[in-house]
Structure 1
């Protein structure tokens, strides 16, 4: 377990606040972008970084959700349908993360595979605002996507909602519906994922329990940032936010691909 200095604590709090402030308006918890900060700046060990990310989602989520609920954005059936798929998926993903891919090289490759299509999708949709949306996905397809994305989210520590959001937006679902539903999905699946990792920590050796101090500090920042971001949603241009998120996700994916190549060359 790493020691937490006051500088590390402040850095974690600030990172959670800033990231959530930017990502909450489009229904992303921010954990997808907090992960590299944990690895490179806060030095959270693998695979403890994944449950720590889920802990961040649990603490940070209520901020944005409280604002969206106050604005009436949590009505509708989309969140319930997503949860029916992502809740079992995130438990499966947590088990895969602990028993199948604990190594840093494979983990970075998984991160890149998740981030790259997400970033390219966001950029493509934002760069062509006049592109006609396709018909919304069927309930069965949304449920299937929920299981798949929940599994990826359990491996990656993002809950799953941040991956479903861009897909649903591209198929014609309005962002005003997607954002609160995706965040609600991320919040509840993160609780399930964090509990799964906690139980696995009793039966498996290694750093698989969340780093509670850093998770709580980052989450406290995310709690404030998420509330402010959700409050700013009606005033922020959606195209700019999508371009920003897409560019950041793509850049991080490329970074992890480069690091993975370096690890392969070092091992050779």
Structure 2
């Protein structure tokens, strides 16, 4: 079916949908593309490789829009991706040596921990806001020592995101967004845009390796990618119009759904 015009149209629609999610939630889209491709009978390794075309193109599309609008901190994105590329290779090496069911359960736990981190970050922000309202004359602490710890935090997030990306086959945004909120004091919208920029390099690295191994189905992947370009443009334009609470709720619901899927997958194994 994937070699017919009907199949290409289905893949284009799928890519558009995942591209919207990529621009809106800061994820690479592969979390949806890979299982969808397996439904069409594509082997898992080829589905993973082929989806990276769509992940890469949609991330590029959304990041270009964010950069032109002056809404992308490209320095943080580049730092995240540089460290993430390195540890992604370590994660892929570990993934080959762990049982599938164990990886599925570990991934589900990762998603639940991510939800907790996001809720913790929101509580900290609300506590800070209440303190500022109660003490309007309270001065914020000086930030003269912030530059080095912040660089260290960015590097640490990139290293962890790359490791988990290689281990679980995710783009990295699902990990980077809440950690950026927690340790870099970024709002969810800023974190979404920064992680989407980092996904560009992470996806490109994985795609190059899979292409070298001959695992990429180029025509289906390009159909996904073209849809992803349009979807990412829509998602990044929609993001500024949504309240932070709405974006955060959508992100948590997505993580819950993925966690449930991974638990079911582990049980079936």
The answer for unaligned runs of 5 or more in structure 2 is: 130-142
Residue 11 (structure 1) shift? 2.9
Q: 1:261 offset after TM fit, Å? A: 1.3
Displacement after TM superposition at 1:121 (Å): 4.2
Q: 2:2, 2:8 within 8 Å by CA — same for their partners in 1?
A: no
| SS state at 2:216 partner | coil
Q: Decide which of 241, 247, 266 is 1:260's aligned counterpart.
A: 266
Aligned to 2:97: 100
Alignment RMSD (CA, Å) = 3.0
Q: Deviations over 1:169-223 (max 9, x none)?
A: 1331134532332111101111111112333x26xxxxxx133333222222111
- Structural mapping, 1:135-146, within 5 Å: 138-146=150-158
Residue deviations 1:89-145, cap 9 Å, x none? 223333444x435x6545534543443333454566679973549x98632233122
Query: Structure 1's 114 and 211: CA in aligned 2 closer, same or farther, altered over 3 A?
Result: farther
Larger Rg: 2
Confirm or deny: 8 A CA contact 1:23 1:29 kept in the other structure: yes
After TM superposition, the structure 1 = structure 2 runs for residues 134-213 of structure 1, keeping only pairs within 5 Å, are: 138-171=150-183, 172-199=185-212, 201=213, 209-213=215-219
TM-score, with length taken from structure 1: 0.78
**1:130 paired residue number:** 126
Classify the secondary structure of the residue corresponding to 1:233.
helix
Question: Paired residue for 1:53, among 51, 54, 62?
Answer: 51
SS of the aligned residue for 2:71 comes to coil
Q: Equivalents in 2 of 1:190, 1:226: separation in Å?
A: 15
- The answer for the alignment partner of 2:26 in structure 1 is 27
Q: Is the 8 A contact 2:25 2:251 kept in 1?
A: no
Q: Which piece of structure 1 moves more, 15-24 or 124-133?
A: 124-133
5+ long unaligned stretches in structure 1: 203-208, 264-268
Q: Decide which of 219, 231, 236 is 1:230's aligned counterpart.
A: 236
Change over 3 Å in CA distance of 1:122–1:8 after alignment to 2: farther
1:150 Cα deviation after fit? 0.5
Instruction: Identify the residue that residue 254 of structure 2 maps to in structure 1.
Output: 248
Alignment check: 8 A CA contact 2:87 2:166 kept: yes
Higher mean displacement: 171-180 or 119-128: 119-128
How does the TM-score come out when normalised to structure 2? 0.78
Structure-2 change in CA distance of 1:106 and 1:45 (3 Å):
farther
**Match for residue 14 of structure 2?**
15
Give the paired residue count: 251
Contact 1:153 1:159 in 2 (8 A): yes
SS of the aligned residue for 1:118 comes to helix
Q: Please identify which structure carries the higher helix content.
A: 2
Structure 2 CA distance for partners of 1:236 and 1:128, relative to 1, 3 Å: farther
